Amino acid sequence: MRTDKDNVLKVGIVQHSFLSDVETNRTRNVSAIANLAAEGAKLIVLSELHDSLYFCQTENVDNFDLASELPGDFTDFYGAAAADNGVVVVASAFERRAPGLYHNTAVVFEADGSIAGMYRKMHIPDDPGFYEKFYFTPGDLGFNPIETSVGRLGVLVCWDQWYPEAARLMAMAGVEVLVYPTAIGWNPDDTADEKERQRMAWITIQRSHAVANGLPVVSVNRCGFEEDPSEQTSGIDFWGSSFVAGPQGELLYEAPEDRPDEACVEINLARSENVRRWWPFLRDRRIDAYGDILRRFRN
Amino acid sequence: MRTDKDNVLKVGIVQHSFLSDVETNRTRNVSAIANLAAEGAKLIVLSELHDSLYFCQTENVDNFDLASELPGDFTDFYGAAAADNGVVVVASAFERRAPGLYHNTAVVFEADGSIAGMYRKMHIPDDPGFYEKFYFTPGDLGFNPIETSVGRLGVLVCWDQWYPEAARLMAMAGVEVLVYPTAIGWNPDDTADEKERQRMAWITIQRSHAVANGLPVVSVNRCGFEEDPSEQTSGIDFWGSSFVAGPQGELLYEAPEDRPDEACVEINLARSENVRRWWPFLRDRRIDAYGDILRRFRN
């Protein structure tokens, strides 16, 4: 168990909108990292694919030019940002692993700029406006924690957030914080009611991972409207709403839906142990009866 | 897929407080079933252990006298209530399976009064005021749906509600509605903030099962204060808050925290299929990487 001194972790969340110009996005991201580090953040989380527009709105082979080899220019850049500010950074890369083989990969940098670990997005969505199966091969690194100086992180990415299995596997590996870089938004043509059902479902499922596992959750989304270059859809209105929840799913911070936000939020890592003593869900799992979880469907 | 005519299901929820007198509780339960059937409910859900006070506040061997053999007097009584009103009823029994072998068992009655199926609570809690491991052997019927004339029901009980695995296994078996009879409340000594965190965690985790699985959820709790006969604790203030959620986790109905409530709520079973087409989570589960779910912990 942590000592009192180590218990409070200040987390910086960077909810930005992005432009097509990668250099501008990077400059703004580094500026946010510096701002939040100056506020005392020790762990800073960027949103998914924060170096570019959300290019998955169309299937276009030219977009593979946006990918980066890891390690390479991407890790040099964000590693330097972590080191310059002495903070752990969760960044999100479009990984070029080989010609014709790409991943959606979170990279965690230690406060000295070294790579603490990587997580390749395991669940890949595909629906109109989110053609990720065209771009990303599903991850092959499994659901494994990344050890850092601020704690053992369970980094998952966007579509992973809908899967209780992913959060559970991270909790079972002893993670102390669940972290979700994400890029999710509305179809502008949907009704206000439908939009709110979707946004609330997204918040609810991630808060539930905190509840089920007695762990804090940090979820960082982008915001702003991005048009569909193919003009087949009305584009995506990214809904922001980044948040931090404590280990009972209680909301510690909620960012606005409609504009950029940078916030430094305190989480108490010792509280997880207390909550798990009160509600010891891990004690009572019926692992003797869960076998069919590994099937596609029970028919 | 269901026809339009079959899509709307009226669900009756019975949020009661209870007395020590079983006959009074039963009379009130049957009255609620009749009232809700008259309002058009076709599926009526009672809360957990609705024939008695929540006797698990203490470990007392005399309480085993409250148990019923199944089938027996309990099923005769509630089967008749189902038949008399022509409705499917989800009831909750303290099952006496053999001397020294008891379960916390949900019994589902068909609208003709026959037993459609039973579910024995799989996850059993145990903490001060909720000494269920003393009374109930963990269920051995697995996570299996119960077929009824109003649809395929996934009945789970109380502590099961904290386990995403249970809801997932039911969804994978093709259930159309998740149903949770429950008995949960506050320690009156807790702060208002802590009470609200607990109540919201309970709502959040169950709404998340709707979201993760694209299924409606019906959760029915008891309400009212029950004292601790041993006077070791300050008793339990059962928090009501029974609710019905649609397949995006959207709240369709919420009962009050502090008083009995009977409500008839419409759910549209066809909406689940639409929601699953928009957000096809079942498509993308990484069953190749979930194996460790069957372990106790990953260390």
Question: Across the interface, which of B209, B293, B299 has its CB nearest the CB of A293?
Answer: B293
Provide the pairing of β-strand B115-120 with B101-109: antiparallel
Question: CB of A205 within 8 Å of any CB in chain B?
Answer: yes
Residues 6+ apart with CB under 8 A from B291: A294
Q: What angle do CA B280, B285, B286 make, to 5 degrees?
A: 150
Largest CA distance in chain B: 55
CB contact under 8 A, B164 and A212: yes
Q: Residue A3 has what pLDDT?
A: 58
CB contact under 8 A, A284 and B125: yes
Average pLDDT rounded to a whole number, residues B54-79: 98
Please give the ipTM for the structure prediction. Answer: 0.97
- Helix or strand (DSSP H, E) at A170: helix A164-172
pLDDT band for position B287 (cuts 50, 70, 90): very high
CA distance A250 to chain B (A): 6
Question: Across the interface, which of B142, B162, B164 has its CB nearest the CB of A289?
Answer: B142
Q: Residue A134 has what pLDDT?
A: 98
Residue B4 has pLDDT above 60, yes or no: no
Residue B181 has pLDDT above 90, yes or no: yes
Q: Residue B69 has what pLDDT?
A: 98
CA distance A290 to chain B (A): 6
Residue B5 has pLDDT above 70, yes or no: no
CB contact under 8 A, A281 and B172: no
Average pLDDT value for chain B: 97
Q: Residue B150 has what pLDDT?
A: 97
CB contact under 8 A, A298 and B173: yes
Cα-Cα end-to-end distance for chain A: 44
Chain B neighbors of A247, CB-CB under 8 A:
none
Query: Is residue A158 flagged as an active site residue?
Result: yes
Chain segment B232-261, per-residue pLDDT in tens? 999 999 999 999 999 999 999 999 999 999
Cα Rg, chain A, nearest whole Å? 18
The residue from B42, B56, B110, B158 that is catalytic is B158
Chain segment B164-173, per-residue pLDDT in tens? 999 999 999 9
Interface of B with A in 243-272 (CB under 8 A): 246, 248-250
Three-state secondary-structure class, residue A3? coil
CA distance A129 to chain B (A): 12
Residue B1 has pLDDT above 90, yes or no: no
The residue from B48, B95, B176, B262 that is catalytic is B48
Q: How far apart are CA A14 and CA B200, in angstroms?
A: 27
| Neighbouring C-beta atoms of residue A147, cutoff 10 Å | 15
**Structural domain boundaries in chain A:** 7-282
Q: Residue A4 has what pLDDT?
A: 55
Mean pLDDT, each 10-residue run in order, chain A (299 residues): 73 98 98 98 98 98 98 98 98 98 98 98 96 98 98 98 98 98 97 98 98 98 97 96 98 98 97 94 98 97
Question: CB of A141 within 8 Å of any CB in chain B?
Answer: no
Residues 6+ apart with CB under 8 A from A39: A10, A12, A264
B224: left (phi over 0), alpha (psi -120 to 50) or beta: left
Provide the pairing of β-strand A243-245 with B88-98: unpaired
Contact A106, A157 (CB under 8 A): yes
pLDDT band for position B3 (cuts 50, 70, 90): low
Residue B24 has pLDDT above 60, yes or no: yes
Chain segment B198-232, per-residue pLDDT in tens? 999 999 999 999 999 999 999 999 999 999 999 99
Sequential DSSP letters for B209-273: HHHHHT--EEEE--EEEE--TT-SS--EEEE---EEE-TTS-EEEE--SSS-EEEEEEEETHHHH
Which percentage of chain B shows pLDDT scores above 90? 98
Q: What is the CATH number of domain A7-282?
A: 3.60.110.10
Interface of B with A in 152-191 (CB under 8 A): 159, 162-166, 168-169, 172-174
- Helix or strand (DSSP H, E) at A272: helix A270-278
